[in-house]
Each structure stands twice: as C-alpha cells, then as structure tokens.
C-alpha cells in the first residue's frame, strides 16, 4: 500500500515534466534511476543539488 502511495505522489509531483514531449514518462523514469554527484556544495552547488532533487533525479 505504501509503495502505491509513493508512486501516486511521484506521478503527481512530476506530472508537468511528463507532459513534455522531450521528457515523457520514460525520461522521468530515467531521471529517477539516475545517480549524480555534486562537487563543491557552496552557494551554486547547493542550488544545483536542490534543483536536481526537485527534478526527480535519484
């Protein structure tokens, strides 16, 4: 049951991205499966890490 709620939440959260032809559901799945390392979490790196997380990376 919990996995279903998480899946539904993710679908709602990233619905605007999946509508885009360039991303779609396959692209969003690939973003979720991706792993990223951000080097140097100063002012810019902190924002980049936040943007990546909000985009659904990882």
Whether 10 contacts 32, CB under 8 Å: yes
- Give helix then strand counts, H and E, for the chain: 4, 0
Where in the chain are the domains? 2-55
State how far the alpha carbon of 54 is from the alpha carbons of 1, 11, 41, in Å: 24, 13, 16
3-57 pLDDT per residue, tens: 555 677 777 888 988 999 999 999 999 999 999 999 888 899 999 999 999 999 9
pTM, 2 dp = 0.69
Spatial separation of the C-alpha atoms in residues 27 and 54, rounded to whole Å: 15
Whether 8 contacts 14, CB under 8 Å: no
């Amino acid at each position: 049951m919990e996995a279903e709620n998480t899946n539904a939440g993710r679908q709602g959260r990233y619905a605007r991205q999946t509508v885009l032809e360039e991303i779609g559901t396959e692209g969003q799945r690939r973003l979720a499966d991706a792993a990223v390392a951000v080097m140097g979490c100063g002012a810019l790196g902190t924002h980049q890490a936040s943007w990546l997380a909000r985009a659904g990376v990882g």
